[in-house]
Amino acid sequence: MSLAQIAQEAGLPRVGARPPLFRYLGEVWQRREFIATMARFRMRSEVEGNRLGIVWIVLRPLLNALIYGLIFGLLQGNSRPEGYAAYVVVGVFIFEFFTGCFNDGSKSISGNRNLVQSLNFPRMTLPLATVVQRFLSLCITLVVLVPILAIFGHYPRWEWLLMVPLLALFTLFNTGIAFITARLTVHVADLSQLLPFVSRILFYTSGVLFNVKTILEHHPAILTLYDYHPIYQVLQISRSILVESGSYPLHYWPMLAGISLATLILGVLFFWSAEERYGRD
């Protein structure tokens, strides 16, 4: 009889063994304080070396909106959307949440290899901490977004409360994306170099800086595909809510809910199925 069989008969669990899914999710929930603490620590350590500190959480997307908005605004000429300044600020602030979960989520396991190899804990807590960190940053930017939109003549209305369910769905979607990218970069390290380019392509093609319907009005087939683009749906709904920039089909809500839940479930299963391999590959 081998040592492994003796240990199994004695009831000794294998180190790093993958528990059943629901027990695994329960273990993740038990470590919610660890997730929140790690998210706050990462948030603080990201900016504490800078003189302006936490201000950079807002200043970074604001500068991106200014630079990209100026360049793309000039390139679009008369075809740019009405109220372009507010249009771009909302788009960049919302997309920044996705970018953070997408890029930082991909490094959550590979960038914490020493921690993963040293301690026994559900690895899902690491990409979750990244999502929580980016969500906290988003909350800060949204607070600052209120006076920025007021400058452009857009004041709080009751409709703004619709941002709560919208961001809840977007968070579910981004969480699933973080799980997927976290596992992919563990197995294929080179993807960590490619994913920022994918994120940039999504930034330029999701309608962050331009009105998709105006630019692609002569390409109805491509416009139809955009109706199934979750990031585009979030941008359209958020702009309609915050700056009254056009309308959107009401079926975007159930579609976004379905896509977000499907992405989350897929991400959870995809990440959990490789739990035993993290720290060993």
Per-residue pLDDT reduced to its tens digit, 99-150 = 999 998 888 888 888 888 777 888 999 999 999 999 998 988 888 888 888 8
> What per-residue confidence (pLDDT) applies to 253?
95
Identify whether the C-beta of residue 258 lies closer than 8 Å to the C-beta of residue 95. Answer: no
Please check whether residue 10 lies inside any domain of the structure: no
> What per-residue confidence (pLDDT) applies to 12?
44
Phi, psi of 258 (to 5 degrees): -65, -45
Question: Looking at the 3D structure of the chain, how many domains does it have?
Answer: 1
Whole-angstrom CA distances from 14 to 4, 7, 121, 158 are 9, 8, 13, 54
> What per-residue confidence (pLDDT) applies to 178?
96
Please check whether residue 219 lies inside any domain of the structure: yes
Please check whether residue 105 lies inside any domain of the structure: yes
> What per-residue confidence (pLDDT) applies to 4?
47
Identify whether the C-beta of residue 56 lies closer than 8 Å to the C-beta of residue 47. Answer: yes
Please check whether residue 271 lies inside any domain of the structure: yes
Query: Which structure tokens are listed for 51?
Result: 């003189």
Instruction: Report the SS3 class of residue 28.
Output: helix
Contacts of 191 (CB under 8 A, 6+ apart): 106, 181, 184, 185
Please check whether residue 127 lies inside any domain of the structure: yes
Low-confidence ranges of the chain (pLDDT < 50): 3-4, 6-7, 10, 12
Expressed as residue numbers, the domain containing 94 is 20-277
Identify whether the C-beta of residue 195 lies closer than 8 Å to the C-beta of residue 148. Answer: no
Please check whether residue 134 lies inside any domain of the structure: yes
Q: What is the pTM of this model?
A: 0.88
Give the count of alpha carbons within 13 A of 112, CB side only: 23
**35-70 core/surface letters (b: 16 or more CB in 10 A; e: else):** beebbeebbeebbeeeeeeeebbbeebbebbeebbe
Identify whether the C-beta of residue 109 lies closer than 8 Å to the C-beta of residue 115. Answer: no
Name the region of 14 (left: φ>0; alpha: ψ -120 to 50; beta: rest).
Answer: beta
Which among 214, 198, 240, 212 is positioned nearest to 94, based on CA atoms?
240
Rg, the chain, Cα only: 21
Please check whether residue 7 lies inside any domain of the structure: no
**What is the residue-wise DSSP string for 114-154?**
HHHHH--S-TTHHHHHHHHHHHHHHHHHHHHHHHHHHHTT-
Please check whether residue 2 lies inside any domain of the structure: no
> What per-residue confidence (pLDDT) applies to 255?
95
